[in-house]
Structure 1
Amino acid sequence: MATLVEIVPYDENWPRLFHQIANDLHRLLGTVVLAIDHVGSTSVQGLSAKPVIDVDITLRSLPDVPAASEKLIASGYEPRGNRWDDDMWAFMQHTSVPKQRVYLCPPGNETHRRRMVFRDYLRAHPDAAGQYASLKQTLAIAFSYDGDRYTAGKRAFVEDILRKASHR
């Protein structure tokens, strides 16, 4: 069954919830963790978002991914595979509130780098964040039960922001 694409107003609790999640994940995964970053729309102050905390975990190396994956799965995270064919492994936690989407990646991962650049640009440019919020709201209405088309509809905006960020 298709899942509703739901966009909700920014929740002031999201940063605190991210820190709790990050602490739990760091305890679970241990010394293989180099960094845990809050990414996605919930990481941008004031930005409406799907009620899902997106977390990128940079591990020491690509060979650390299988053992870290096993620990996530044993803790109730559903494996979602290698996203974007970029050695970025996705996991969902559907039972938490809000839901969590966790990504494991090796150092220097290009997808992670792009996500951080996009996040940081939106944090520094509230006008761009507002435009993004409007686009997401429009797409959520147009593709309310088609997450793939919703995501595809954001692609041009994201690429434009990444181009702008690289010319700063």
Structure 2
Amino acid sequence: MPTPEEITRHHDEGEVVYVGSYPTGYVVRIEEPDPTWPQRYAEIEGQISAVLGERLLAIQHIGSTSVPGLPAKPIIDIDLAVADPVDEAAYVPSLESLGLVHWLTEPDWHQHRLFKMLTEPRVHLHVFGPGCPELVRHRMFRDWLVDHAEDRELYAAAKRSALARLDARGDHPDGLGFGMRYNNVKEPVVREIYDRMFRASGLL
């Protein structure tokens, strides 16, 4: 189990190694809550469980599509834990057999591996090691938004505002870098909610 210090520490940008990423023409958009998103997650979870078997240590639906009533980019975010993310031979071929593309690696962020499935609704699969603090942070944030309507509404407004700001500045919502810029714009609100959540949980 990670320590409170590890859980509450925000990640600073580090090295990003692009692996199979390429421009797709995808246009970032925010959609109203869709009751089929949890069903899509359940389908993907079943497929991943089938191909990884005992190599799958943990899996969870995270991100905005996991929060009922929250507008979201129609992308199913999933956290996955394996014994060692660096040992790619142990799990990458199995994930690729499902149509997941190994998009990028972030060695400085707990050896994070990102995979994408580009069929709609899209899937972003985040691979970490066991006991990674990000698994705890993501679960806490999801559950906090489920239980706290005011912060859920605050976060929804921040998402819409971030998308509008980037578009108004002439940042086209496609290409490899738009998602990162979008996340940076809404980051102050995200950190405000995290701070409130951590304090209520006694971690700060």
Counterpart secondary structure, 2:110: coil
Larger deviation, residues 9-18 vs 63-72: 63-72
Q: C-alpha separation between the residues in 2 aligned to 1:36 and 1:141? A: 33
CA distance, structure 1, for counterparts of residue 161 and residue 131 of structure 2:
34
Distance change >3 Å, CA 17–CA 75, structure 1 → 2: closer
Classify 1:63/1:152 alpha carbon distance in 2 versus 1 (closer, same or farther; 3 Å).
closer
Conserved 8 A contact 1:82-1:90: yes
Contiguous gaps of at least 5 residues in structure 2: 1-22, 168-172
TM-score by length of 1: 0.90
Equivalent residue of 2:131, what SS? coil
- Report the equivalent of 2:109: 85
**Matches of residues 123-134 of structure 1 in structure 2 within 5 Å?**
123-134=146-157
**Which of the numbers 144, 151, 155 marks the counterpart of 2:187?**
155
Moved more, 44-53 or 75-84: 75-84
The alignment yields a C-alpha RMSD, in angstroms, of 1.8
**Distance (Å, rounded) in 2 between the aligned partners of 1:30 and 1:23:** 10
Which secondary structure state, in structure 2, belongs to the residue aligned with residue 102 of structure 1?
Answer: strand
- Residues 15 and 43 in structure 1, CA contact (< 8 A), matched pair in contact too: yes
Gaps of 5+ in 1: none
* Identical aligned residues as a percent: 29
Structure 1 match to 2:4: none
Query: Residue 167 of structure 1 corresponds to which residue in structure 2?
Result: 199
Q: Which consecutive aligned stretches of 4+ in structure 1 deviate over 3 angstroms post-superposition?
A: 60-66
Aligned residue for 1:79, secondary structure, equals: strand
Q: Identify the match of residue 47 of structure 1 among 58, 62, 70.
A: 70
Distance 2:28 2:85 in 1: 32
Structure 1 or 2: larger helix share? 1
User: SS of the counterpart of 1:7?
Assistant: coil
2-structure distance, mates of 1:63, 1:80: 15
- Rounded to whole Å, the distance in 2 between the matches of 1:74 and 1:137 is 35
The 8 Å contact of residues 59 and 65 in structure 1, kept in 2 or not, is answered as: no
Tell me: CA distance 1:157–1:66, structure 2 relative to 1, closer, same or farther (3 Å): farther
- The CA deviation string for residues 40-84 of structure 1, in whole angstroms up to 9 with x for no partner, is 100000100001100111123446543211211233211122236
8 Å CA contact 2:64–2:70 kept in 1: the answer is yes
Query: Which structure is larger by alpha-carbon Rg, 1 or 2?
Result: 2
Q: Give the stretch that moved more between structures: 154-163 or 65-74.
A: 65-74
- 1:69 aligned to 2:59? no
Q: 1:107 to 1:65 in 2, by over 3 A?
A: farther
Mean CA deviation greater in 74-83 or 147-156: 74-83
Name 1:23's counterpart in structure 2. Answer: 46
Q: What is the letter of the counterpart of residue 20 of structure 1?
A: E
Aligned to 2:118: 94
